[in-house]
Amino acid sequence: MLEGCVQPGLSPNTNAAAARVLDRLGISVIPAPEAGCCGALDYHLGGQAKGLERARHNIDAWWPHLENGAEAIVQTASGCGAFIKDYGHLLEGDPVYAAKALRVSELALDLVQVLANEPLERVCAATDRRIAFHCPCTLQHAQKLGGAVEAVLSRLGFNLTAVPDSHLCCGSAGTYSLTQPELARQLRDNRLTALESGRPDLIVTSNIGCQSHLASAGRTPVRHWIELVDQSLGE
């Protein structure tokens, strides 16, 4: 499981919650502390060489685990996942890393792809709280997994509210909330108005950038969706 660079500091419970849920299903999480930032922010801000250097570093960190039988590289942040799934394309011209990068991309999975076909109903007891799900651009547009998290939460019995214009960006957009704060805040407030239209008790999402940006308004609480599922284990 990718630890990432900002998520452990901003939302340290996310990966811990994911590990607890996976463990209840008999899926072991192997730590790979040598891995670091996926490289997306560097790459998208013009630092392509640095971004690819981070990609190679992660491939080196994960490769021994893949050789020892690890079945997937799981990301709980959809922004990271979208970039890691592109390693094979980004490094296709690198004679040393091309084959390894392709293999890593093939084994890179968003958390929802791991849990979608697992018998979560056996271990979870959904609450009747009203929940709104914000589907990040990197999940629905880049990874083509729009509706996947909603399907899992609905199957578990969570009360999902309708969200108008669910295809729109929240304004976080990598570093957009830092480089274009005024526009990013306008996008955030528009997104929150749509998310809050069904009067949810909680907003959940699947990307740390979106989570932090939406939460910065101080309105409805925002968490990663796996924390909601993890809490339902205890209940």
What's residue 174's pLDDT?
A: 80
Residue 150, phi-psi category: left (phi > 0), alpha (psi -120 to 50), beta (remainder): alpha
> What is the number of other CB atoms lying within 10 angstroms of the CB of residue 162?
9
Predicted pLDDT of residue 177: 84
Task: Check residue 83 and give its pLDDT.
Answer: 96
* 120-234, CATH topology level: Rossmann fold (3.40.50)
Q: How is the chain split into domains, by residue range?
A: 7-115, 120-234
Are the CB atoms for 162 and 182 separated by under 8 Å? no
Q: Which of 221, 55, 198, 205 is nearest to 136 (CA)?
A: 205
The predicted structure's pLDDT at residue 108? 97
Phi-psi region of 171 (alpha: psi -120 to 50; beta: other; left: phi over 0): left
pLDDT averages per 10-residue partition of the chain, 235 residues: 79 91 94 91 93 97 96 95 97 98 98 95 87 96 95 94 94 85 94 97 95 95 96 81
Alpha-carbon distance of 177 to 210, in angstroms, equals: 10
Tell me the three-class secondary structure of 164-185, residue by residue: CCCCCCCCCCCCHHHHCHHHHH
pLDDT at 211: 95
> What's the CA dihedral at 117, 36, 134, 217 to 10 degrees?
150
State the pTM of this model.
0.93
Amino acid present at 134? H
Q: How far apart are CA 195 and CA 14, in angstroms?
A: 21
Residues 6+ apart with CB under 8 A from 35: 2, 3, 57, 58, 61, 62
